[in-house]
Amino acid sequence: MTRLIFSFLLLTSFAFSLRSESPLWMRYPSISPDGKQIVFSYKGDLYKVNASGGEATVLTLSEGHDFMPVWSPDGKSIAFASDRYGNYDVYIMSAEGGAAKRLTYYSAGDYPYCFSPDGSQIYFGSSRVDINTSIVFPSGGLPELYSVPAVGGKESMVNSWPMEDVNVDATGNKFLYHDRKGYENQWRKHHVSSVARDLWLYEKNTDKYTKLSDFEGEDRSPVLQKNEDVYFLSEKSGSFNIWKFNLKDPSNKTQITKYEKNPVRFLSSSKEGVLCFGFDGEI
């Protein structure tokens, strides 16, 4: 089967050309822990390309929609969501390609966020059931946080609070995430309301929650560095841009990118802080 071949030019960002056309809407780019490779979703399949540019190779060829790839800490495996059996489930495959293994089987949609620091577990969001002590309104739009062994096995609830785009620090104790307080389409721009997303830190050992943002609009998609620097997306400047702060001083936030027309999406980072994101349909 003849597949599309992409030519990549490394300028200030990746630009793609396909014959006389420029393919757009490459989504959910995720950079590898060593910063050398990027996996992304394009037309429902996953592709991989060198971070320095080059030819993109296809990783999945399913009739379903494959997206939301996340790398294991050692860079050898990729977890992703796919609806090849109806609803979205979590799958895992080698970063070199090959057969994908299905890990979750629930009737609700399951969406992977990250691996545990040792790579043994995959954390994912799913709207299943709240615990009996939860004060959250029982809604199919508010997910809980779960984990599943990377080799397959029993799924477990980690937290009933609605957490999305979760990052976990090297100790496995600190969970950085943005919340979800109500239903609002994630693609809506310039959303300002009481249910706008905020950044939070959950410390599992002490069951402590700390709010890290106070902007009345959208703050989301945090990524945590080993020095406790946090990069995230915010509409504080008008359009979604990348901002930065350190966990030791969350009030001191600095704007990193300054795009005006289109939003930055799909933020990810390598272990050494190389950032990767989507902008205007490109990577």
Whether the CB-CB separation of 141 and 165 falls below 8 Å is answered with: no
Whether the CB-CB separation of 242 and 264 falls below 8 Å is answered with: yes
Structural domains counted in the chain: 1
What pLDDT does residue 226 have?
87
| Residue 235 is assigned to a structural domain of this protein | yes
For residue 61, the domain's CATH number is: 2.120.10.30
| Residue 1 is assigned to a structural domain of this protein | no
For residue range 99-126, list pLDDT tens digits in order: 999 999 999 999 999 999 999 999 999 9
| Residue 2 is assigned to a structural domain of this protein | no
Low-confidence ranges of the chain (pLDDT < 50): 1-20
- Residue 130 tokens read as 């709240």
What global pTM score does this model have? 0.89
What pLDDT does residue 17 have?
38
| Residue 91 is assigned to a structural domain of this protein | yes
| Residue 75 is assigned to a structural domain of this protein | yes
Domain coverage including residue 130? 7-279
| Residue 200 is assigned to a structural domain of this protein | yes
SS3 content of the chain, % helix, strand, coil (to 5): 0, 45, 55
